[in-house]
Amino acid sequence: EKHGRYLVQSYLEYQGEKFLSRFDVNSYLALLHMMDTHDVGRHRGGLEAALASLSQPALIIGVDSDVLYPLAEQRELAAALPHAHFEALSSPHGHDGFLLGQERISQLTQRFLAEHLPSQ
């Protein structure tokens, strides 16, 4: 039954079912392992050096109620990137705020792209 469930829960279940129909469990386990062990700074002089070497502009959007990727960490990431622009998104929906705040994220992204992409 889908009544009374959170929109995000339905979305995640749908995406999970779609994923399972395309990949076997070993593919999923390999993906989880890669996500858990990935290190941007490996063989690049550490995280700070790797981030400092990037020259392209970056837009970092943090959600103020996200406990998986806290706002403080997003601010640190933006500070470590030489050409980063940071925006905070206010949402009561935690990590799922990016799913439910799409209009605001779209506005921020469009403005960022307009400022950083060459005009056609």
Give the pLDDT band (50/70/90) at residue 1.
Answer: very low
The verdict on 17 and 66 lying in the same domain is no
The amino acid at residue 62 is G
The CATH number that applies at residue 73 is 3.40.50.11320
The verdict on 92 and 77 lying in the same domain is yes
Give the Cα separation of 50 and 43 in Å (integer): 9
Scored b (16 or more CB within 10 A) or e, 24-51 reads eeeeeeeeeeeeeeeeeeeeeeeeeebb
Q: Which domain holds residue 97?
A: 45-120
Give the Cα separation of 101 and 79 in Å (integer): 24
Q: What is the pLDDT of residues 56-114, one digit of tens each?
A: 999 999 999 999 999 999 999 999 999 999 999 999 988 888 888 789 999 999 999 99
The verdict on 29 and 66 lying in the same domain is no
The verdict on 67 and 12 lying in the same domain is no
pTM as predicted: 0.72
Total structural domains in the chain? Answer: 2
